[in-house]
Chain A
Amino acid sequence: METSIGKKQKYGMVIDLDKCNGCGGCTVACAIENNVPPALEKMNKRNGITWLNISTVSNNEQFPKIESVFIPMFCQQCEKETPCMTVCPQNAVDVDPSTGIVGQVPQRCLGCRYCMTACPYHARYFNWWDPEWTEGMKQQLNPDVAPRMRGVVEKCNFCHGRLHTAKQKAAAQGSREINPADYVPACVESCPNKAITFGDLNDLTTNVSQLSKSENTFRFLSRLGTEPKVYYHSEKKWVRTMAEKSLTRSHQEGFNG
């Protein structure tokens, strides 16, 4: 299992919800980077593939107090008792101990979707259709990422292709450590408001590890005890309270998915 040499990283993210304006740039960048096929006409919100999905939640107040927040939701890279990993019958989900990234091996995936029922963040997507690209789009496919076939599950892996490229580059330069500037996931890179901070949570000097410990940073469903590595940050109290709330109350207060 130990394939890496050198110190252990724990990659994570902090998303500043106050900076996110819901432009969706990250969603598009993610899909292009990871060769996610374009949606077909017959797809809908629940069966299309969006590794990174943005939800809008409102505080449900009357004008002028009404406010809403955009929540980018994707694989939260659970560190402990990773729910999807323990349930997969044929080891198609693995957590890389050297990076902490929860990976999906589509070549091994049976498509039983047990991992999807196990994931509380609904961050896993099944290929209900055969992937289809138009001729022109085929030219733009990312050669570093293998497209997936019909009948397998896929999800965000912190742009594994980019990590791989960074490692190759480091190796070519004779280094065992990658340059942090070489490994930045597509969503982080594409965000016009710089709402997403990415890096090694184990390295106490990085922005991301400092932000993850800051006062108004929280995680969704942290009570489940899975130690997700994606943090959210907001200075607005109602957003933080909303994130802590459980089902019914939030439902009654009218938050929309």
Chain B
Amino acid sequence: MFPWVYEFHWTAFHITFLTIFFLIFAAVVATVILAVRRTQRAEQLHTMESIQWHSDFEDLSPTARICRHELSGNVQHRMCDQGFDCRSCLVHPLLVAKQTKTPMLQFEVHGFTMPPHRLYHRGHMWVQQENDGTYKVGIDDFGTRIIGKPYSVELPPVGSRLSVNGKGMLVKRSDANIRILSPIDGEVIEHGDSEKGWYLKVKADNPENVMTHLLKGDEVPNWITREMDRLQISFATSGVGATLADGGELVSDFHRHYPKADWDGILGQMFLEA
């Protein structure tokens, strides 16, 4: 068969057969090498966080992936395919142009405090512009209430970089760890603590384009309504027949009321982590 094997001789059949199979083998090896190379490149270009988010995003259930223009009533039905990053979406500017409704300002949504001067990220973080041109970032009321009392919160150190949909904070509870997505790109210049509250102060990379992808106006109440639905469904899935309204009043500490629920699964659902 091979030149160094006794009684070697080539025929057309050998050449075809071996060529095909060694090509296939080479193609399989090349595929794996390519994937390894791309992984290394992602590491060098620091795009790993965004790839991680895209991987999580692909695993989201369809109910969590609704486009903001469906929330605002701009379109009947649309699913997000951009990982909630409207900055790279081609359809978003078209739909914004179509928008006719005036934004409705509302301070309380189903009992949650959602101040209208703040903008909201789908991972339950708010962004607020400060007077000095920096941005303050924190977990919204809905998020705070479903997290309950964490035993530790890891904030990125001052000077570290944040990127949209990258890791913003890490919240640890006894029954679940949850990473919270960063709503903006920038550099952390200050952060809070358990007394001042868990917030980050961020110097944005590109101040003109900080808010494009964040929810605002009448998108927020509709979004919260759907999040309530998702939460209720998650409760039911984890075997707790819970209703979130307690005689019309919203439960303030979900954990104390439903300690037996699968909080790990529920928090994963609500904070968009697979």
Contacts and interface: CB of A to CB of B under 8 A. Distances in A.
Q: For the complex, would chain A's binding face be called helix, strand, loop or mixed by DSSP majority?
A: loop
What is the size category of the interface that chain A forms with chain B? under 10
Interface residues of B, number: 3
A1 B11 CA distance: 13
Interface string A65-100: 000000000000000000000000001000000000
A91 B7 CA distance: 11
B256 interface: no
A96 B103 CA distance: 92
Contacts of A91: 1
Nearest to B7: A1
Give the interface SS of chain B, mostly helix, strand, loop or mixed: loop
Interface string B1-44: 10000010100000000000000000000000000000000000
Contacts of A1: 7, 9
Contacts of B1: 91
Contacts, number: 3
Interface in A95-132: none
Interface in A233-249: none
Nearest to B5: A91
A182 B1 CA distance: 35
B104 to A, nearest CB: 76
Contacts of B7: 1
Nearest to B1: A91
A134 B92 CA distance: 90
Nearest to A91: B1
Interface string A171-195: 0000000000000000000000000
Interface string A28-39: 000000000000
Nearest to B9: A1
A159 to B, nearest CB: 23
Interface string B204-222: 0000000000000000000
A109 to B, nearest CB: 16
A91 B1 CA distance: 10
B156 to A, nearest CB: 60
A1 B7 CA distance: 6
Interface string A1-26: 10000000000000000000000000
A162 B134 CA distance: 98
A1 B6 CA distance: 10
Interface in A140-187: none
Nearest to B8: A1
B69 to A, nearest CB: 62
B190 to A, nearest CB: 71
A91 to B, nearest CB: 8
A1 B9 CA distance: 8
Interface string B192-204: 0000000000000
Contacts of B9: 1
A230 B213 CA distance: 87
B13 to A, nearest CB: 12
A61 to B, nearest CB: 53
A68 to B, nearest CB: 45
B5 to A, nearest CB: 9
A170 to B, nearest CB: 23
Nearest to A3: B7
B148 to A, nearest CB: 65
Interface of A: 1, 91
3 contacts: A1-B7, A1-B9, A91-B1
Interface of B: 1, 7, 9
The 3 closest A-B pairs by CB, nearest first: A1-B7, A1-B9, A91-B1
